[in-house]
Structure 1
Amino acid sequence: MLAQQPRTFFTSADRFKTVVGNVTKMGIDPSKARFLWAIHAFRAMSKSTWDKKVELYMKWGWSKDEILLAFERNPGCMMASMDKITRILDFLVNTMGWDKSYIIQSPIIVCYSIEKRIIPRCLVYKYLAEKGLTGDIEDFCFTQSQWLTYSEKLFLKWVVKKYEAEAPELLKLYEKHMNVANGL
């Protein structure tokens, strides 16, 4: 952490002690690396910014406990801008029909690029659903949240290649949307 985010530690001893105390009160295990990332996240924003983000998640139906659970799982979910949080939640909940529980289970999703990862991959999911290749929608929504966390290489291997026989145009569809996201 000191090498990756040295600014986390460039603060007064009193401020740092307060931040560590707040993170500890949240119940995050100090023996886990996430504890340091939580300190970094909490240290990087003011109390008013934190409160505004908590309020934003609550507007999307999250309880304070769910917000803290998501923060504990991936502190980065509170470091995204309010605009990014709104855009991602709007897309996943309103466009894709996700239940908030999928995002709470994998809050790293809020850290991903909506244009370069979330939308292109979700369009793959929609395409597969339209082809009737997704099976049970509950299982598929859970699978979608996992697919968003895959590296590009694994996504191509475990998703696009998997459905290659049933949907041979899937790779072209995905590449088309990736090119749009990359401005090509």
Structure 2
Amino acid sequence: MLRLKQRLLSAVRTVAPLAAASLHRLSLSTTTAARPPARFVAEDYLVATCGLTPAQARKASKYLSRLRSPVKPDAVRAFLAGIGLPKADVAAAVVSYPPLLCANVDKTLTPRIAQLRQIGLSPPQIPCLIAVVPEVFFSPVKISRLTFYLSFLGSYDRVHSALKRSDYLLRQDVETVVRPNIAFLHQCGLTDYDIGKHFMLTSRMLLSEPQRVKEIAVRAEELGVPRNSVMFKHALLALYSLNPVRLSAKLDFLKKVLGCSEADLCILVRKLPTILTKSERKIGCTVEFLMVEVGLEPLYILFRPAMFGYSIEKRLMPRHFVVKVLKAKGLVKKDIDFYNVVCLNEKRFTEKFLVHYNKSVPGLIDAYAAAFTGQVPPEL
């Protein structure tokens, strides 16, 4: 009986700790099950998983307030990676259009990819497009506009270049804005190539309201640039970048600095419409150099406005130095036409004025090179 009692006490001592441990594990399990899952914080997710900066994530997270878990954005990121979009481009796309992370892969993204393939985009071109305009996933009308531009510009590369400059290209209505503008520009003598190159790839003018485009054309004609002239397209682009107040101030400045009349000013603008886009500082410095340093008359400059298109440091000053040296040594005529010297391409100028006179004026080439790089050339 004594032995039986001892065995029972020993069994109790052994079972008691095990039971206690089991109860402890049960308690932990119950507590864990009752604890709610960690809250999904979009801002943290965008930084840690998508690679956005804190500032970018803070801004983008406002569009992701309905997300309660990373399931959907994880699926979107996996999908984008699967079509070849690098992680950096995924981040750029999310910054550009945060709702992208809320998309349904099966119902939205996959069908859009199929549509893009149907209009002729290749697998490598599609991720390039998504990186620039991710909102194309959510707007069928933008795919129809994309189809128009692919046809008009003739290649995806040109469309991509235009989109990189401004995704507004796909936001403006083609039928009520773009096509009427193209038709009007055709009436002004511009070709599809002109329109594509000058108005779609480098300017948003084609996307402006048609009435504004017509008003700009009238103003170009008033400034002496007729339709069907070579410079008309350049005049349109120059005037598009200037509001009426700024344009008036620029015209007044040109008349003052050149001492020219309204009629003379029209000649200037007709020859070089882009002078309207140059800063007053650039114009003033060029006029001062040509009149003070080179000794040219205002009327001479006025009728040769192409000189305003050249850099003083890289073109006008170095060539003036060479001509001045050659004049001093009697190697060229005193009345040599500076404009003709300036307009020569670099190869022709080098052959005619540097190589040709190098033996007569040792060190001329090195002195020109020094002047070209902004150094003070030595006396020759």
Taking structure 1 as the reference length, the TM-score comes to 0.86
**Paired position in structure 2 for 1:101:** 299
1:75-100 deviations in whole A, cap 9, x for unaligned? 12221111000000011112221112
Match of 2:322 in 1: 124
Structure 1 match to 2:339: 145
- Cα–Cα, structure 1 residues 161 and 109, in superposed 2: closer, same or farther, change >3 Å? same
Identify if the C-alpha distance between structure 1 residues 173 and 59 changes in structure 2 by more than 3 Å, giving closer, same or farther: same
In the TM superposition, 1:49-64 aligns within 5 A as 49-60=246-257, 61-64=259-262
Q: Does 1:7 align with 2:204?
A: yes
- The answer on 1:66 being equivalent to 2:267 is no
Is the 2:272–2:306 contact (alpha carbons within 8 Å) kept by the matching residues of 1? yes
Are 1:43 and 2:237 matched, yes or no? no
CA-CA distance at 1:132 after TM superposition: 2.4
- 1:163 and 1:66, CA in 2 relative to 1: closer, same or farther beyond 3 A? farther
Corresponding position: 1:18 with 2:212: no
Which residue of the partner structure matches residue 110 of structure 1? 308
Aligned residues of 1:76 and 1:108 also touching (Cα < 8 A): no
Identity across the alignment (%):
24
How big is each residue's C-alpha offset from its partner over 1:84-132, in whole Å with a ceiling of 9 and x where there is no partner?
0000001111222111233222212112111111111111122222222
Deviation at 1:73, TM superposition (A): 0.8
- Distance between the aligned counterparts of 1:150 and 1:127, measured in 2? 18
**Secondary structure in 1 matching 2:374:** helix
For the residues of structure 2 that align with 1:127 and 1:7, how far apart are their CA atoms?
Answer: 47
**Cα distance in 2 for residues equivalent to 1:64 and 1:14:** 27
Equivalent position amino acid for 1:53 in 2: K
Secondary structure in structure 1 of the residue aligned to 2:231: helix
Contact 2:238 2:273 in 1 (8 A): yes
CA displacement at 1:158 relative to structure 2:
2.6
The CA deviation at 1:154 is: 1.9
Task: Tell me: higher relative CO, structure 1 or 2? Use CA pairs within 8 A at least 6 residues apart.
Answer: 1
Q: Which amino acid aligns with 1:44?
A: S
Partners of 1:8 and 1:133 lie apart in 2 by 51
Query: SS of 1:6's equivalent?
Result: coil
Give unmatched runs, 5+ long, in structure 2: 1-193, 376-380
In the alignment, is residue 155 of structure 1 matched against residue 353 of structure 2? no
Cα distance in 2 for partners of 1:25, 1:180 equals 41
The answer to whether structure 1 residue 176 and structure 2 residue 364 are counterparts is no
Q: Among 282, 286, 291, which residue is 1:88 paired with? A: 286
The 8 Å contact of residues 118 and 148 in structure 1, kept in 2 or not, is answered as yes
Distance 2:226 2:264 in 1: 17
> Which has the higher mean CA deviation after the structures are superposed, 79-88 or 7-16?
7-16
Return the offset for 1:165: 4.0
Structure 1 consecutive aligned stretches of length 4 or more whose deviation exceeds 6 Å: none
Alpha-carbon contact 2:238-2:274 (below 8 Å) kept: yes
Please tell me whether the aligned partners of residues 77 and 108 of structure 1 are also in contact (alpha carbons under 8 angstroms): no
Please report the RMSD computed on the Cα atoms of aligned residues, expressed in angstroms. 1.9
Corresponding residue SS for 2:373: helix
Change (3 A) 1:106 1:8: farther
Residue 38 of structure 1: CA displacement? Answer: 0.8
Q: Distance in 2 between matches of 1:62 and 1:106?
A: 14
